[in-house]
Structure 1
Amino acid sequence: MDKLKQNMLLKNWTKTSTIKLVTFLSACLIIVMISLSINEKSLQDSEQNIKYYKAKVLEVMQDTTVVDHKTEGVRKGSETLRIVVTTGKYKGKEVTIENYLSALFNVYAKSGTKIIVRATMYKDGPNFSIYNYDRTPILYGVILLFIIFLCAIGGKKGFMSLLGLGLTLIAVVKVLLPLLIQGFPAITTSVILIAIIIIVCFILLDGINVKTTSAAIGTIAGVMISGLFAYFVGVLGHISGFQTEEAETLLLIAGNHGMKVKNLLVCGILISALGAVMDISISIASSIHEIHEMNKKLTVLELFHSGMNIGKDAMGTMTNTIILAFTGSSLNLLLMIYSYGIPYSQLINTDTIAIEIIKSIAGSIGIVLTVPIVAYVSSYIEKRFMK
């Protein structure tokens, strides 16, 4: 009997692993095919006469910078640097450049500092200037640390969630952005891509079963609710993508490629709400599944009430998370507004503040309404298919 059970478990594990592998490869294939069908270079308005290279400071020939105590110790002034380009066609080339420091542009270099230089191309050759620090090693190190922690603590599921995250980021960069620039309907394109991402991520996480099915249905519903809410509130409040800080630049791009700017705000809210809604969906679906496994005599209504009780606990922290995330991202703006003493009637009607409020509330409403949706769908599916 034990051997039969072991064979069944092995068979199920093999089947689940096969499904995950097929799903991952299929998603990769679709992304590659779409990417190959899109001419990304024609969509990117790059400055052909400007290139960027890595470089290293060999010597600080002159340093006239001083510490400005009015700007919290930021150095201001200029440096004369001798640098060597370490990548690209000018690799090994040594040049002397002036580095001007201010409160806003402050790349203070020392001997051995790794930097990024901007090369502006002229007929008589390139003119080099400092662009920024070379943060590549630090950023790659942080990413690697995250991957190690996720896989070490999360194990197999951590690795699968990492694959799902990677596919999501690649899909956004290689599929969503090019399609939006080409003028595809912003909301429709985002909804379809998000639905596919949700299904793929849940399959990679735990295969195809009642938990992932319930969570996927709830997540799609919750994200759609967030998007619909943001859209209708935006229409009523006369808020759209045209009020964002990047609107002017996006309009120039839209004139060249046919991109639709109006609904980009809703697309951003859909993507922002995705992670939190996925989190609460799988938590409730997993909890109801475990409760049903422990007591299969419970009715759909009883399972639903259990799911709601669990969801209510998670709901408060999740809504706090998403609202505080948007608040934190706007901290500098809030400080600036507060320091100017802007009256409340003006503040609440400012485009930027209105957009942040809509983002926060839309995401939170998506989370709140996801709880009963997942609780009911999961309870019904558990009783219907897991008797």
Structure 2
Amino acid sequence: MASRNVGRRRADRRPNRRRAVEIPRGHGHGHGHAHGHGHGDHVVDTSVVNSDAIVARRVRIVVAAVLVPLIVAAVVSLIVLWPGGDVKVASYQTSSARGQITALKPCADARDKCNLATVKLSNGADKGKAVPVQVPKAGGAPIPVKVGQEVMLAVQKDAPPDQKYQYVDHDRIKPLLILAVIFAVAVVALSRWRGFAALIALAVTAVMLTQFILPAILRGSNPLLVAVVGGAVIMTIAVFLTHGINAESSIALAGTIAALGLTVLLGWFFTGFSQLSGLAAEGASTAQQFSPHLDLAGLLVAGMVIGALGVLDDVTVTQAAAVWELSAANPAASRRELMSAGLRIGRTHVASVVNTLVLAYAGAAMPVLLVFAIQDLPVVTVISTEAVAMEVVRGLVGSLGIIAAVPLTTALAAMAVADRSRDLVGTPEPVA
């Protein structure tokens, strides 16, 4: 009893730096009977799990044996694969400009084919000038442009003055910036400094995608290798930056990388087994036209990996946090007890996340599915076409990676915190 109270007082004196879980104390246990009166529920600080000497020793083994070699390999590969030089294709480059429509009328010589807009330029060499721009009509209906709207233009420098500027699309930068600001404010308002760290991690992800992954693939590097290296670096920065460098986040990262590796293997195998060429992917043929050496099948698998990264991060961090909560509630819980309870939590999470991922891929293929619905083709025929089969493989491979992430991360976390303080607590309480 004395050693049990000493352990309890040690936990109580630690500041509540992180989250806490309330453990009801009933009268069925000696400790609950002795301390339950007058105190109500007892608050357990989960930060004591990270600072536990036993946990620290076990996690150091995982970090030294698994994480450090993988992170070092990813960083070295990142340096080796980093694209040097310019990857742009000169024949595909065009100048651009933006402006606001100040007047709009039908074209004089082709009233049914286009509208003639007067656009006041807001940037470029002719900034401030009003220039004529033809806005084509599609399928007999005019593209919905109105006076006062912002538009994007392509600039043909050697064309006649009345054809120098060509309509490209609406300029949507303002509404997108407003939406991004609302998103950032909402994240910071809810999660405070952790939300701010998550936004920085999001910026790092954007930089990795635009400055490493895409250019490296265009330079001829293996898309699958680039995706794995880039994904590992992104996840390392995102997890440690958002959740801190501690035992819990290290275990979550180890589970993420393990599940990522399995996703890569499954994606590579089933892409070949299903005979997917990658040509059905949107923009694939255009990309190969300007980069003939591009491996479209590898690019398809790389897309599966990148698409599953965010969900894997969510699952592994949640599972590690759940096991940490359980260990904080009962320091003497065995590995089997923690695994059992952690998997019960994970089952509910996976059920909802898998459905979300599959629906996301189905939504991306919605235009193709509508075409098949119009043609009234048999379901077997529809599924076997590459455009649909590609999305099926994407969704199922990503889902398998998520499913694997739960037991992998739960097992690593349980191994790290199981039986961590049996000598202090004495008789263990059952894990709910």
Matched, 1:79 2:108: no
> How many Å apart are 1:38 and its aligned residue?
4.2
2:100 matched to which residue of 1? 56
CA shift for structure 1 position 156: 1.2
Is the partner of 2:297 in helix, strand or coil?
coil
Q: Distance in 2 between matches of 1:386 and 1:205?
A: 28
Question: Conserved in 2, the CA contact under 8 Å of 1:101 and 1:108?
Answer: no
Residue aligning to 1:217: 254
How far the C-alpha of 1:294 sits from its partner, in A, is 1.3
Aligned to 1:334: 369
Contact 1:115 1:130 in 2 (8 A): yes
- Tell me the amino acid that sits aligned with residue 172 of structure 1: L
Question: Deviations for 1:31-80, whole angstroms, at most 9, x for unmatched residues?
Answer: xx969x7456x31125477321011122224589xxxxxxxxxxx75322
Q: Amino acid of the residue matched to residue 89 of structure 2?
A: D
Amino acid corresponding to residue 114 of structure 2 in structure 1: S
1:142 alignment counterpart: 179
Give how far 1:227 is off.
Answer: 1.8
Shift of residue 367, structure 1, vs aligned partner: 0.8
Which residues in structure 2 correspond to 1:1-387 (within 5 Å)? Answer: 38-39=83-84, 42-47=86-91, 50-62=94-106, 78-103=114-139, 106-122=142-158, 127-255=164-292, 258-383=293-418
Partner SS for 1:111:
coil
Q: Structure 2: how far apart are the matches of 1:152 and 1:8?
A: 21
Gaps of 5+ in 2: 1-8, 18-46, 48-74, 423-432
How far, CA to CA, are the matches of 2:170 and 2:118 in structure 1?
Answer: 15
CA distance in 2, matches of 1:62, 1:276: 49
Q: Deviations over 1:223-273 (max 9, x none)?
A: 221221111111112113344343322322333xx4433311110000011
Does the 8 A contact of 2:338 with 2:418 survive in 1?
A: no
The Cα of 1:95 is off from its aligned counterpart by 1.9
Following superposition, the deviation at residue 362 of structure 1 comes to: 0.2
TM-score, length of structure 2 as denominator length: 0.74
CA distance in 2, matches of 1:6, 1:224: 38
Aligned equivalents of 2:415, 2:225: Cα separation in 1: 29
Between the aligned partners of 2:404 and 2:16, the Cα distance in structure 1 is 38
User: 2-side partners of 1:153 and 1:103: how far apart?
Assistant: 47
Partners of 1:279 and 1:38 in 2: CA distance: 30
Change (3 A) 1:219 1:149: same
Aligned length: 353
Q: Which runs of 5+ in 1 are unaligned?
A: 13-29, 65-75
Residue equivalent to 1:24: none
Distance 1:247 1:83 in 2: 34
Greater shift, 124-133 or 284-293, is seen at 124-133
- Cα distance between partner residues in 1 of 2:391 and 2:141: 28
Offset of 1:180 from its aligned partner?
Answer: 1.0
- The residue type paired with residue 164 of structure 2 is N
Contact 2:332 2:421 in 1 (8 A): no
Between the two structures, name the one with larger relative contact order (CA 8 Å, sep ≥ 6): 2
Overall identity of the aligned pairs, in %:
21
Distance 2:367 2:233 in 1: 35
Q: Which amino acid aligns with 1:291?
A: L
Task: State the distance in 1 between where 2:417 and 2:160 align.
Answer: 73
Q: CA deviation at 1:383?
A: 3.0
TM-score by length of 1: 0.82
CA distance in 2, matches of 1:248, 1:104: 28
1:79 partner SS: strand
CA distance in 2, matches of 1:103, 1:79: 14
Shift of 1:108: 2.9
Q: Which amino acid aligns with 1:217?
A: A
Letter in 2 for 1:345: V
- Cα deviation digits, residues 160-206 of structure 1 (max 9, x gap): 11111110111011011111111112222211221111111111112
Specify the SS of the correspondent of 2:269. Answer: helix
- Please give the secondary structure, in 1, of the residue aligned with 2:147: coil
Asked whether the equivalents of residues 113 and 140 of structure 2 are also in contact (C-alpha less than 8 Å), the reply is: no
Aligned-partner SS, 2:285: helix
1:265-324 deviations in Å (ceiling 9; x for gaps): 110000011111111111110011011011101011111111100001101001101001
CA distance in structure 1 between the aligned counterparts of 2:136 and 2:159, rounded to whole angstroms:
25
Encode CA deviations 1:311-344: one digit per residue, 9 max, x unaligned.
0110100110100111111112111111101123
Q: Which amino acid in 2 is paired with 1:177?
A: L
Structure with greater proportional helix content: 1
Residues 215 and 328 (structure 1), Cα distance of their counterparts in 2 relative to 1, 3 Å cut: same
The separation in 2 between residues aligned to 1:265 and 1:49, in whole angstroms, is 25
